[in-house]
Amino acid sequence: MVRFWVSVVIGLALGVPAASAVSGAPYQSFDDLAATAIVISDHTMATFSKARLIAEEAGARGLQMFPPDAIFGYFPVRPEAALFAGLPVSLCFAQAELEGRGLDPIVAHVLAAHFNRKEMLRAAPAPGIDMPFEDRVLRVPEDVVLATTPSGPRRGSPREVADRGINQNSEFLIGTVALNIIFPESVGGSENWTDAELADCLAALSLGIAQYLQKALWVDLSFIYNYKNFRRVPVTVEPITSNMNTDHEWIGEVLSRIGYQGGALFGTHQLNNDARDSLKTDWSYTAYIADMSGHYSADPPSPDPGCWGGAGYVAYSYLGGPYMLIPYPACRYGYGLGFGRVFIHEMSHGFWALDEYASAEVSCSDRSGYLNIPTRNTLFFSCQATVPCIMQSSSPPFTEPQPICEYTLGQVGLADVNENSVPDLYEAAPDIEFMSFPGVQMDTLLPDDQYVLSIKVWNDAVPNINSQQNPDQRIDYAPAIRSGEISYNGAPFLPIAPTDGTWDEASEVLAYDMVDDPLEPGLNTITMRVKNRVDLAAQVDKQVFVIGLKYYYISAASHDSTIQILWTTAGEVFGAAFEVLRTDITTGDGETGIAVVTIPDETSTTRRAYSYLDEDVKPGHEYRYRLRGSFEIDASGEHHAYEFFSKEAAETAMIPVGKLVSHLLPNPTADRTSFTVAIPKTFRDPSGSREPALSSGAARSPAAVEVRTDVDIGIYNVLGQRIRTIYNNSRYGGVITRSWDGIDSHGRVVPSGVYFLYVKAGDLNETKKIIIVR
C-alpha cells in the first residue's frame, strides 16, 4: 500500500481530528481481488447505473466503466450472479468468457487487455532511447478562471458542489472520474482512426490508469470512459500537424460539432460539467487524442519531427484541467504501455501534479495539490535522493505498477501520513446533532405526544490550501456521508435514510416520525451512527423519557392450592395501582378483576417488584393472568388518566400428589385433562454414583450434589402404542403440572376410549387411566 513520507507533510496533520473508525487492512494488489467484467446485456444506461451502484456497494475496487456496455473491476470475493439478480447482466472472469456476449468489439478488446494485464506489461515494447519526459504544462488564463469561478468560500462533497470553475473539476483522485475521450479526425486527411487503433488506444490508456488504480486500492477511485459519441469527430485541419499556438482553433471546432460553444477552454469546461452531471461522478476531465500513426517512427531523432512538427514536446495539459492533448502513438514513447504512461503523466497534471524531470525546472519548494505538497523528488535540483516516478520519465523498466512516487501521490490527493487507510485530505470524522423543536420534540413525553426524531449529520472539510489556486476560489471538499443506522434501547441497528432519501452529501438531515416505531414507557436510549465514504464513523446517544408504565416481566407459579403472580416494573410508576385480571381457560370464564395491588415487595431506583397470591383456584384448572396498571397525572395544564396492560402469564393449578402422579382432572373428559407430577430430587455423591431422594429419606453423603432427574411423560393406547409425548427432558426435583388435550402426535383428535398416562421420573414410574368420552 502506498503511503506518504511523514517528513514532508507532518505539519498537515496538525489539528486534524483523529479517525474514529477505519476500514480493515487495505488490499495490496489486484492479485488480492477477483477480476470481473460485468457485461450489460441490454446496453442501456438504466441497467448500467444499477450495476455500477451494486458493484460499488459490494466493495469493488479499480472500477473502469464503459457505458452502457460493460464495467470492469476487482471484487473482494468472486461475485455470484445473484448479486445482480433481476438485472440483464452477465459476469465474466476470463477473456474466453467474453465471447458471444454481444459486446462492442472495441470494449471487448479493452476488457481482454485487462484480463491479460500482466502479460501485456511484460510484453510492453521499450522506446528506442532512454530519455527524460518532455511535455508542456499550461495554465488557464486568470481572466478565464475568474469568469468561470463563483465567488465566495464553498464546502461540500465533490458530487454536491455544483458551481465550479474551469480548473475545479479535477481536484484530487478520490471518487469517480468521468473521462471524456475525444478522437478528432481531419476531413480528407491522412490520419484516420481505424477501429483497431481506437481499441488499442483505449486499452493502452486504461491500462495506464490501472497503474493509478493499483496504488489506490485503499480508497474509492474509479473511471467512467465517455467516448462513444466522440469517435472520429471531423475537423477541417489535421490535428497532428498543429501546435500549441493553433490547437485551440480545431479543438473549438470539435466542440462546436458536439454541441459546445465558447472555444477550447470554455467549451471543454461546459463538456466537463455536463459529463459530471449526467454520469453522476465526482470529477470530470477531457483528453483530446490526435492520430499520428502515419507520422510515427519507432526510432526518431530528438526532437521528434513527426510529433507536432518537431515542436520538442510530446503532449501538454493544463494544470488542474480542463483538458490534455496527446498523440497516439505517443511520439518516441510509442504504442501500448508507452502511450498509457504518457497519458497518466498528463492526467496527473490535470489533478495538480507537477513535473519532476530536470528540464521542467520545478524546484524542491514548488508546491501543488489540495494539501499543497512540495515536489522534493524533482531532478532539477538535488534536494534529496530521488526515486523513479511517472512525473520524471516514461522510459523502461516497465515495472508493475509503474512508479508513482509519494510526492506525486500527495499532490493528486492520495497521501496518508498516519497510515490509517484514510486519505489525509479526508481526515475529518462526521458529526451528529439531535435537534429539538418546541411543541414537536421534547425529552419528556406523554404517551400520546407526537415525536419526530430530528437529526443533522455533517462532515467538516480539511481546508483546501492549494497554492496554485487563488484562496478566494478554493473549494473545501468534505467526504460525503455514506450510511446511517439507528437503534432503540440496545436493539440491533437498522438502516435509516435522510430526508432526501439518499446518503450522498456532506450534510444531511433526517426527520423520523416515531409513529411507526413508538418509544417504550420509561427511559429510552436512541443511538444514531453514521459512516462517511472513507469509513470514518460517529455515534451519538439521545435519551427520551416517556411517561407511562414499563413492565419487565410477569410470571405465574403453582404452589399447593394457590398460584403466585410475580411482576416487575420500572422504578417510576407515578403512583399506579395494579389490577390483577384472571381468565379461567378450563371453564371458559371471561376475564375478571380479582385484586388490586399498590404496594411493591421491593423497590430500587430502577426496579419495583410486586406479587399477589391467588388462593381461589381449582386443582387442574388452567388460568391466564395479566395486569392493568392505571394512574392519573397533571401535565401541560391538563389532567390525564392512563392505563397500561402487561403481557399474559398462564399456569395450571396443582392437583394433590400421592407418590408420583396426582389424580387426573377431569377424568372422564371430553377433550382435556390435567395432572401434577412430583419429580424426586436426584443426588450425585463424591464417588460419582447417582441416588434418588425417596420419600423415606435415604441417607446421603454430606458432600452429595443435586443433579437433574430424567423425566418422561407419554400417552399410550390400549395396544400399548405410544401416541403422544407430553414431556421428555431432565430437570431438577420439584412439582410440574401438565395437561393432555386429546390430540395424538400427528395432530389428530383421538376417538372415545381408554388411554393411559405413563410417567417415569428417575427410578420412579406410575401409570394412570384416562377415559375419553366424545
Report the candidate in 402, 513, 376, 409 with the shortest Cα–Cα distance to residue 455. 513
Which stretches within 126-216 are classed as H helix? 142-148, 195-215
- Domain count of the fold of the chain: 4
- CA distances for 251 relative to 170, 229, 242, 327, 571, angstroms: 20, 16, 11, 14, 78
Are 121 and 97 found together in one domain?
Answer: yes
> Is the per-residue pLDDT at 688 higher than 80?
no
At residue 533, φ and ψ (nearest 5 deg) are -70, -15
Higher model confidence: residue 533 or residue 383? 533
Give the separation between CA 94 and CA 107, rounded to whole angstroms. 14
The answer to whether the Cα torsion of 9, 10, 11, 16 is positive or negative is: positive
CA triple 488-493-496, angle to 5 deg: 90
Non-local CB neighbours of 92 within 8 Å, separated by 6+ positions: 36, 37, 39, 98, 101, 111
The cell numbers describing 134, all together, are: 518532455
Which residues lie closer than 8 Å to 527 by C-beta, 6 or more apart?
Answer: 486, 487, 488, 493, 539, 540, 541, 542
DSSP code for 736: E
pLDDT in tens, 48-74: 999 999 999 999 999 999 999 999 999
Residue that wins the pLDDT comparison between 660 and 126? 660
DSSP per position, 388-434 = --TTT--PSP--SSPP--HHHHHHTT---TT-SSS-GGG---EEEEE
User: How does DSSP classify residue 164?
Assistant: -
Residue 686 clears pLDDT 90, i.e. is over it: no
**Residues 133 and 245 both lie in one domain:** yes
Cα-based distances in Å from 425 to 1, 300, 465, 659? 17, 43, 10, 81
Decide if pLDDT at 281 tops 90.
yes
Alpha-carbon gap, residue 739 to 41, rounded angstroms: 63
Tell me if 418 is assigned to some domain.
no
Identify the pLDDT of residue 695: 40
pLDDT at 128: 43
What span, in angstroms and rounded, lies between the C-alpha atoms of 3 and 410?
9
Measuring CA to CA, which residue among 343, 306, 333, 60 is closest to residue 203?
343
Residue 265 DSSP class: H
Grid cell 435537534 is found at 435
Say if residues 101 and 43 touch (Cβ distance below 8 Å): no
Same domain, 304 and 341: yes
Q: Where are the beta strands (DSSP E) in 117-167?
A: 136-138, 154-156
Report the candidate in 201, 328, 236, 177 with the shortest Cα–Cα distance to residue 251: 236
Distance CA 755, CA 229 (A): 86
pLDDT for res 537: 96
Same domain? 579 vs 541: no
Q: Is the pLDDT of residue 130 over 80?
A: no
Q: Say how far apart CA 341 and CA 402 lie, in whole Å.
A: 8
Lowest-pLDDT choice from 19-23, 431-435, 513-517, 661-665 = 19-23
The reply to whether 221 falls in a domain is yes
Full 3-state SS string of 44-96: CHHHHHHHHHHHHHCCCEEEEEECCCEEEEEECCCCCHHHHCCCCEEEECCHH
Mean pLDDT, rounded, of the chain: 88
Dist CA 256 CA 248 (whole Å): 12
Residues 455 and 585 in one domain: no
**Over 90: is that where the pLDDT of 522 sits?**
no
> Among 546, 579, 594, where does a domain finish?
546
**Residue 555 maps to a domain:** yes
Are 2 and 215 in contact by the 8 Å Cβ rule? The answer is yes
Let me know if residue 665 belongs to a domain.
Answer: no
Quick one: pLDDT at residue 2?
33
Give the closest residue to 619 by CA, choosing from 661, 560, 555. Answer: 560
- Cα separations (Å) of 56 from 63, 76, 227, 512? 8, 11, 22, 27
- Do residues 407 and 509 both lie within one domain? no
pLDDT value of residue 124: 61
pLDDT score at 687 = 64
Exposure of 757 in the CB half-sphere (CA atoms within 13 A): 27
* Contact present, 587 and 621 (Cβ < 8 Å): yes
Q: Last residue of some domain: 526, 546, 566? A: 546
Query: In the block, which residue shows the cell 510509442?
Result: 334
State which of 149-163, 280-294, 297-311, 394-408 shows the largest mean pLDDT. 280-294
Nearest-10 Cα torsion for 749, 751, 755, 758: -10
pLDDT digits (tens, 9 = 90+) for 296-333: 888 888 788 888 888 889 999 999 999 999 999 998 88
pLDDT of residue 129: 42
> Is pLDDT at 667 greater than 90 in this prediction?
yes
In a domain, 424, yes or no: no
State whether 510 and 447 are in the same domain: yes
Are 400 and 459 part of one and the same domain?
no
413: left (phi over 0), alpha (psi -120 to 50) or beta: left
Confidence (pLDDT) at 516: 64
497 and 603: one domain? no
- Which of 652, 687, 720 finishes a domain? 652
Please tell me the predicted confidence (pLDDT) of residue 18.
Answer: 30
> In CATH, what number is assigned to the domain containing residue 699?
2.60.40
* Measured distance CA(395)–CA(341) in Å, rounded: 9
The Cα–Cα gap between 113 and 591 comes to 78
The parent domain of residue 619 ranges over 551-652
Tell whether 202 and 121 lie within a shared domain: yes
Write out pLDDT tens, residues 387-419: 888 998 755 555 555 678 899 999 999 999 888
- What value does the mean pLDDT take over residues 650-655? 92
- pTM of structure: 0.76
620 burial level (CB within 10 Å; 0-12, 13-18, 19+)? buried
Q: Do residue 488 and residue 350 come from a single domain?
A: no
CATH number of the domain residue 481 falls in: 2.60.40.10
In the structure, how many helices (H) and strands (E) does the chain have? 10, 41
Q: What mean pLDDT do residues 137-162 have?
A: 89
User: What is the distance between the alpha carbons of residues 220 and 226, in angstroms, rounded to a whole number?
Assistant: 19
The verdict on 698 and 635 lying in the same domain is: no
Residue 123's contacts (CB-CB under 8 Å, 6 or more residues apart) are none
Residue at 602 is within a domain: yes
Residue 664 domain flag:
no
Identify the DSSP state of 534: T
List the single range of 45-59, 436-450, 479-493 with lowest mean pLDDT.
436-450
Residue 92 inside a domain? The answer is: yes
Residue 510 near residue 502 (C-beta atoms within 8 A):
no
Across-strand partners of 639? Answer: 634
- Taking only the tens place, the pLDDT of each residue in 205-262 is 999 999 999 999 999 999 999 999 999 999 999 999 898 989 999 999 999 999 999 9
